[in-house]
Structure 1
Amino acid sequence: MKLLILDRDGVINHDSDAYIKSVEEWLPLPGAIEAIAQLSKAGWTVAIATNQSGIARGYYDIATLDAMHARLRALVAQQGGEVGLIVYCPHGPDEGCACRKPKPGMLRTIAEHYGADLRECWFVGDSLGDLQAAEAVGSQPVLVKTGKGEKTFEKNLPATTLIFDDLAAVAAQLIHT
């Protein structure tokens, strides 16, 4: 199985320090929807692992989050692709859960769901926490320069981190290798 795991905010859609609180605020990044569809059509399973502490903070509810993900799935389907499992952490940063990145709980959940070996997967994110979660389970950490990626690029990245301009560039690399 060719499994690719993506962070959501800043990788697939625009991010906001004020949180993405509605379907109207959930706006795809240029080329991201097409990239997911291309990967899917090329035989990749594309799963998503996303921290969503806005739920714990009371900014939006699970029904709203589900509606955002339904929109994502519909847009990818319009391009002939499919989004796999979407796993989210609804907890705040101080709740001590095992799922909130940089902890690798969500990645393990996805791997268990698909019976996949995380050491054979890439995890694409825009934050240091994303890269650290990938490193914790032996996945290939991939930084995109969208979202918070430019600021993350200036940090002390895991040594094996691959760097791309955006999700479309990641897709092009994976599809053509």
Structure 2
Amino acid sequence: MKRASMDRFIDTIEWIAAAFVGIVAANIFIAVLLRNIFSYSIPDSFDIGRMLLGILIFWGIAATSYRGGHITVDLVWANVGPRYQRWIDVFATLVLLFVVTVQTWTLFDKVYGTYNDNVATFDLGMPTWPFFAVAWAGDVSAVLLIAIRTWRLIFHPDQIHDSKITAPE
């Protein structure tokens, strides 16, 4: 995959995560507006909102994992040289890759179980597995982006979109 196409893939995942932020915000705004002004409650709005928030979390993991925008503790990293900083970054990213890969595996089990058990929402009886499947797709995207980040950290640190990453000495 060329660098430009890989960057487009990364940007697409970030846009999907951003779209889910908008969808969650719109769902909450509309539900509150209807409830407080018109005394009308959207059927299953709580369940839908809850599942959309889960989707947002997993797609957000994908977006923040590549850019290094998640919360970090850089006490040791800030006090060592660039070579060791890179080693720490590679190690931390490999640990993150392992953890998110295991999480993705277990989330697939949840999608499969929800599908087989025919779990549905209370009011409308909508199946919940599609929401879980979209969340799982976000987790798969996170694994892919973390793998790309790991590859770039090891072989092409100049291609990382992170201000704290420096090229090897």
Bucket of the pairwise TM-score, normalised by the shorter protein? under 0.3
The structure in which a higher percent of residues are strand is 1
TM-score (norm 2): 0.26
Structure scoring higher RCO (CA < 8 A, sep ≥ 6) equals: 2
Structure number with larger C-alpha Rg? 2
TM-score (norm 1): 0.25
The answer to which structure has the higher helix fraction is 2
